[in-house]
Amino acid sequence: MYDRHEVSVKVALYSSDGKRTLLMRHWGDAGFGLPGGHIDAGEMPDAALERELREELGITIDATPADFYVRDPYDTTAKNHKIILGYTATIDGDVELPAQACDGSEEGPVWLTRAEVEATDKLAPGYRDFLLKRWP
């Protein structure tokens, strides 16, 4: 049995030309994640996504709810049941992003092409499937 249900919002951000997606690189070589984060108590999902994107990337976007999924639903060792509400959006590929790690060397935002997303083993399969299924 799970100790609690954790709900997060994540967004697949695609460049307006459809050639790249914006991911968050984790410290070291831990891998990539989608922009977004946890929903605070009493917060609506759309508001949580807006807050997270302001905090992480300094941007405001119009995102479309796309899907939801449960991370590792068959992982019996997990203490938390994680539900992820997925969104999609398109942004200008030249949008000004936070200075840290725009080159992809540290934690922060990094643009990847579809081929790079398909080739990396540093992205959770659920995130990869979500990105590729909705790629413009």
What's the confidence (pLDDT) of residue 47?
96
What are the tens digits of pLDDT across the range 63-114?
A: 999 988 766 555 555 556 688 899 999 998 787 777 654 444 567 888 999 9
Domain-by-domain residue ranges, the chain? 4-134
59 Cβ neighbours under 8 A, 6+ residues apart: 53, 91, 95, 97
What's the confidence (pLDDT) of residue 96?
77
CATH code given to domain 4-134: 3.90.79.10
What are the tens digits of pLDDT across the range 22-69?
A: 999 886 667 899 999 999 999 999 999 999 999 989 999 999 999 887
Place of tokens 């605070």: 40
pTM for the whole thing?
Answer: 0.82
71 — phi, psi (to 5°)? -75, 130
Q: Which of the pair, 116 or 26, is modelled with greater confidence?
A: 116
